[in-house]
């Protein structure tokens, strides 16, 4: 009888271990909520571009998830304040409103060409890039009630 | 074993085997392994871009690193080259497909607009692996940082200070000798590739901690100021010494200012000297923790507590900058003053007069000014423009302490953040309190920033405000583990960066034409 109990113990332990070890190559998916976010290269969700800047700036959308086997598409919108004019203050270099994350790719750029032009400080001189959806219903912005970095606000200011 | 026991054992055995088997990747193991997605070569050739390029531009494609699927390929070209329709020549692993956006790329044939960065997506044959190479054409620069002669003649105490002489345009470095607990000042200069002693080694009294400063006047005279442990008036009193061409002399007597001098800064001006410090003694001539100032008019010192702050106001620390004509001083208050937590003050000294350019100032929305010693300072450009840098956690830094460089607009009488944002150092989780950061303004007015990057194992980085884009350049990595970072320029445009390594030896980088 004692031997059977010992045998049961071994088998229960085996079952429990198997459940714990699980599929180790998917470790993390059980604990991590996949999400996409946008920020500057230094991790900020708001930034300033001075009116004398003449450059193509890159803003980055980050995917945080376990490896995907299929493409993920992320949709975004660009909201432009009434103080900024396309072709005068800026140009959208990245065309369209969808970014494609192929398997293995975790960052995608949104590029904007900033052009030297002073702004009217009494107007809204912000350009907001806001994530609006994705093909797998991943969380937009950091997980949490505030969904930080769901959007990036760029404000053009006179130098 | 009865039937029930047999059933139990069998069931458990089955469950255990099934659980392990479910994790098996034997199916995957049987699949043939597809090739890597990998670009092998990349370049722009004159032959493929007739009439546009006058030479070939070929780069080494970065090697694949496990876990990394984005790579940057930077190619420097003269700014006058038309980059709007360049044809690239490239190779990738056999069977790989290469796209830019939705356009398949054919080597030596497909044109792209390289006035903006171009993302090449390389995909392997079973589409299981993707790698993106971002190709950016950068401006050719004819200037470069190159390492000069190492100084390992002795061990250097922390906070070695470097200044380029306005007279001979050579870098001088002042430090306290660490070896054998010498604790006295020494000054060297780098003449070509040779280090030369300036006066005797260990010429001063014993120095209190790392509380010493160094500057060179426009006539080339080097000065040091330090808390003097051998002063008779008070241990740690302020002493200032100048090099007279053959030896170091006290200016106004050893320990002339009865304070325990900490966080000492000195400006060597054409018509005198200005020194700032914090006093750490209760028995000094000024209250403990107060901001002390001393000015030399060529024949006598005037010293006491700064009259630009409330009497007895405790301060945390101070630093001094100058351009040989104007001195500036930045100090950080200790704790809250009038409800402002660790606000900072910036003063200007010119023609014998002190003037406040900022009092108890805190960036809008910030909790406090950072008190990390290496995160703040002040410098004056050759044209008199005053700069200061401070750390803060203002809202647009996402509550992470970041350093910003500010320029004083003398017309509007306000401080403006250079480049509009904090410096792109990119602290992610709390300000690194051991950062060592210095700023110099090149003769053409371009601000340069050198610092040790704690996100990258204290490596030495440098960046500058690009005169064309008006934005900070991507920081360039120069060297391994660096402390006590200094940067300065000669009037002829040669830049120098110095730092001490982990063995307390001095390294120098020089910025000059290639």
Taking the Cβ of residue B70 and every Cβ of chain A, the question of whether any pair is shorter than 8 Å is answered with yes
Do the Cβ atoms of A45 and B398 come within 8 Å?
A: yes
- Enumerate the residues of chain A whose CB falls inside 8 A of the CB of residue B12: 8, 11-12, 14-15
Q: Is B32 part of any domain?
A: no
Q: Is B28 part of any domain?
A: no
Q: Please give the residue of chain B at the shortest CA–CA distance from A158.
A: B420
- Enumerate the residues of chain B whose CB falls inside 8 A of the CB of residue A150: none
d(CA B73, nearest CA chain A) in Å: 15
Out of A22-31, A69-78, B5-14, B295-304, pick the least confident.
A22-31
Q: Please give the residue of chain A at the shortest CA–CA distance from B465.
A: A53
Verify that B158 and B122 share a domain, yes or no: no
DSSP state of B181: G
Q: Which of B127, B129, B421 sits opposite A48 (nearest CB)?
A: B421
Token output for B118? 């171009």
- Enumerate the residues of chain A whose CB falls inside 8 A of the CB of residue B37: 104
Q: Is B432 part of any domain?
A: yes
List the one residue out of A139, A44, A143, A58 whose CA is nearest residue A92.
A58
Q: What is the CATH number of the domain that holds A119?
A: 2.60.40.2030
Q: Is A93 part of any domain?
A: yes
Q: Answer with the one of B139, B160, B175 that is the final residue of a domain.
A: B139
Q: Answer with the one of B118, B139, B160 that is the final residue of a domain.
A: B139
Establish whether this prediction's ipTM goes over 0.85: no
Verify that B493 and B398 share a domain, yes or no: yes
Quote the percentage of chain B above a pLDDT of 90.
Answer: 79
pLDDT in tens, B205-230: 999 999 999 999 999 999 999 999 99
Q: Please give the residue of chain A at the shortest CA–CA distance from B424.
A: A42
Backbone angles phi, psi at A26, to 5 degrees: -110, 15
Verify that B400 and B282 share a domain, yes or no: yes
Specify the pairing of strand A35-39 against strand A139-140: parallel
Q: Which of A14, A103, A107 sits opposite B70 (nearest CB)?
A: A107
Question: From the centroid of its chain, how far is CA A39?
Answer: 8
Verify that B191 and B57 share a domain, yes or no: no
Verify that B119 and B204 share a domain, yes or no: no
Taking the Cβ of residue B16 and every Cβ of chain A, the question of whether any pair is shorter than 8 Å is answered with yes
Instruction: Compare B199 and B80 and report the one with higher pLDDT.
Output: B199
Q: Is A83 part of any domain?
A: yes
Do the Cβ atoms of A109 and B469 come within 8 Å?
A: no
- Listing DSSP states for B278-318 in one string gives EE--TTSSS-TTPEEEEEE-SS-EEEEE-TTS-TT--EEEE
Taking every pair of Cα atoms in chain A, the longest distance, rounded to a whole number of angstroms, is: 89
pLDDT value, residue A25:
31
Q: Which of B9, B396, B425 sits opposite A47 (nearest CB)?
A: B396
Q: Is A21 part of any domain?
A: no
Do the Cβ atoms of B8 and A8 come within 8 Å?
A: yes
Verify that B336 and B464 share a domain, yes or no: yes
Q: Which of A24, A105, A107 sits opposite B130 (nearest CB)?
A: A105
pLDDT value, residue B140:
82
Q: Is B17 part of any domain?
A: no
Taking the Cβ of residue B428 and every Cβ of chain A, the question of whether any pair is shorter than 8 Å is answered with yes
Q: Which of B117, B129, B402 sits opposite A111 (nearest CB)?
A: B117
Average pLDDT, integer, range A126-144: 96
pLDDT in tens, B7-21: 455 554 444 444 444
Provide the number of structural domains found in chain B: 2
Q: Is A5 part of any domain?
A: no
Q: How confident is the model at residue A1 (pLDDT cuts 50, 70, 90)?
A: very low
Verify that B329 and B248 share a domain, yes or no: yes
- Is residue B443's pLDDT more than 60? yes
In a 3-state reduction of DSSP, which class is residue B392?
Answer: strand
Do the Cβ atoms of A103 and B395 come within 8 Å?
A: no
Verify that B131 and B186 share a domain, yes or no: no
- Is residue B28's pLDDT more than 70? no
d(CA B139, nearest CA chain A) in Å: 12
User: Count of CB atoms within 10 A of residue B454's CB?
Assistant: 16
d(CA B424, nearest CA chain A) in Å: 6
pLDDT value, residue A4:
52
Measured distance CA(B393)–CA(B405) in Å, rounded: 14
Q: Which of A11, A47, A57 sits opposite B16 (nearest CB)?
A: A11
Q: Is B12 part of any domain?
A: no
Length of chain B: 514
Domain extent, residue B470, equals 143-513
pLDDT value, residue B139:
85
pLDDT value, residue B399:
64
Provide the number of structural domains found in chain A: 1
Q: Is A23 part of any domain?
A: no
Q: Please give the residue of chain B at the shortest CA–CA distance from A49.
A: B420
Verify that B218 and B346 share a domain, yes or no: yes
Verify that B51 and B151 share a domain, yes or no: no
Angle at B480 between CA A40 and CA B185, to 5 degrees: 115
Token output for B50? 């007739």
Token output for A77? 């919108």
Do the Cβ atoms of B12 and A8 come within 8 Å?
A: yes
Angle at A49 between CA B85 and CA A116, to 5 degrees: 55
DSSP state of A68: P
Domain extent, residue A80, equals 33-157
pLDDT value, residue B426:
67
Q: Is A19 part of any domain?
A: no
Verify that B302 and B375 share a domain, yes or no: yes
In a 3-state reduction of DSSP, which class is residue B134?
Answer: strand
Verify that B356 and B256 share a domain, yes or no: yes
Q: Please give the residue of chain B at the shortest CA–CA distance from A54.
A: B469
Average pLDDT, integer, range B295-304: 96
In a 3-state reduction of DSSP, which class is residue B158?
Answer: coil
Q: Please give the residue of chain A at the shortest CA–CA distance from B24.
A: A23
Q: How confident is the model at residue A28 (pLDDT cuts 50, 70, 90)?
A: very low
Q: Is A24 part of any domain?
A: no
Q: What is the CATH number of the domain that holds B108?
A: 2.60.40.2340
Do the Cβ atoms of A44 and B397 come within 8 Å?
A: yes
């Amino acid at each position: 009888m004692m031997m059977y109990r010992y045998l049961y113990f071994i088998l229960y332990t085996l079952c429990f271990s198997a459940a714990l070890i699980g599929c180790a190559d998917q470790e993390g998916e059980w604990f991590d909520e996949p999400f996409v976010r946008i920020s500057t290269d230094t991790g900020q969700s708001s930034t300033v571009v001075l009116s004398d800047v003449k450059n193509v700036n890159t803003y980055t959308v980050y995917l945080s998830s376990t490896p995907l086997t299929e493409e993920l598409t992320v949709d975004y919108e660009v909201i432009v304040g009434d103080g900024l004019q396309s072709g005068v203050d800026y140009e959208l270099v990245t065309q369209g409103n969808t970014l494609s994350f192929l398997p293995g790719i975790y960052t995608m750029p949104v590029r904007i060409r900033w052009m030297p032009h002073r702004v009217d400080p009494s107007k809204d001189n912000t350009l907001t890039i806001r994530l609006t959806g994705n093909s797998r219903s991943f969380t937009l912005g950091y997980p949490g009630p505030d969904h930080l970095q769901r959007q990036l606000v760029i404000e053009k200011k006179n130098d | 074993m009865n039937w029930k026991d047999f059933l139990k054992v069998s069931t458990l055995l089955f469950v255990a085997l099934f659980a392990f088997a479910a994790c098996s990747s034997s199916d995957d193991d049987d699949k043939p392994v597809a090739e890597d997605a990998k670009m092998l070569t990349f370049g722009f050739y004159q032959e493929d871009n007739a009439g546009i390029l006058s030479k070939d531009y070929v780069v080494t494609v970065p090697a694949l690193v496990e876990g990394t699927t984005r790579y940057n390929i930077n190619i420097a070209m003269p700014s006058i080259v038309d980059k709007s329709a360049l044809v690239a020549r490239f190779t990738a692993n056999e069977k790989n497909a290469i796209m830019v956006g939705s356009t398949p790329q054919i080597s030596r044939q497909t044109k792209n607009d390289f006035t903006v960065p171009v993302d090449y997506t390389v995909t392997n044959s079973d589409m299981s692996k993707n790698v993106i190479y971002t190709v950016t054409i950068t401006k050719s620069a004819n200037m470069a940082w190159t390492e000069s002669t190492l100084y390992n003649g002795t061990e250097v105490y922390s906070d070695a200070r470097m200044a380029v002489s306005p007279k001979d345009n050579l870098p001088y470095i002042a430090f306290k000798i660490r070896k054998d607990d010498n604790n006295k000042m020494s000054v060297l200069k780098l003449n070509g590739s040779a280090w030369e002693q300036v006066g005797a080694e260990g010429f001063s009294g014993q120095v209190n901690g790392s509380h010493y400063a160094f500057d060179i006047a426009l006539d080339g005279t080097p000065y040091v100021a330090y808390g003097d442990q051998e002063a008779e008036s008070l241990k740690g009193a302020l002493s200032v010494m100048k090099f007279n061409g053959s030896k170091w002399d006290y200016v106004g007597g050893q320990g002339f200012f009865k304070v325990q001098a900490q966080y000492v800064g000195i400006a060597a001006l054409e018509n005198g000297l200005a020194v700032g410090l914090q006093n750490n003694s209760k028995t000094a001539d000024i209250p403990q923790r107060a901001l002390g100032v001393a000015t030399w008019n060529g024949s006598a010192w005037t010293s006491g507590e700064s009259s630009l702050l409330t009497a007895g106001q405790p301060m945390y620390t101070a630093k001094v900058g100058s351009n040989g004509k104007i001195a500036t001083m930045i100090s950080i208050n200790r704790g809250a003053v009038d409800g402002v937590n660790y606000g900072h003050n910036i003063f200007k000294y010119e023609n014998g007069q002190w003037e406040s350019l900022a009092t108890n100032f805190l960036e809008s929305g910030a909790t406090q000014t950072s008190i990390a010693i290496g995160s703040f300072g002040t410098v004056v450009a050759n044209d008199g423009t005053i700069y200061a840098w401070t750390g803060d956690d203002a809202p647009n830094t996402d509550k992470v302490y970041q350093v910003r460089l500010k320029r004083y607009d003398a017309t509007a009488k306000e401080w403006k953040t250079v480049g509009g944002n904090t410096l792109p150092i990119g602290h992610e989780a709390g300000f690194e309190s051991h950062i060592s950061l210095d700023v110099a303004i090149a003769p053409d007015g371009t601000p340069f920033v050198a610092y040790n990057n704690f996100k990258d194992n204290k490596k030495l980085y440098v960046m500058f405000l690009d005169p064309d884009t008006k934005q900070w350049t991507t920081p360039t990595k120069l060297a391994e583990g660096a402390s006590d970072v200094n940067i300065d320029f000669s009037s002829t445009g040669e830049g120098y960066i110095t730092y001490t390594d982990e063995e307390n030896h001095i390294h120098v980088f020089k910025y000059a034409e290639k």
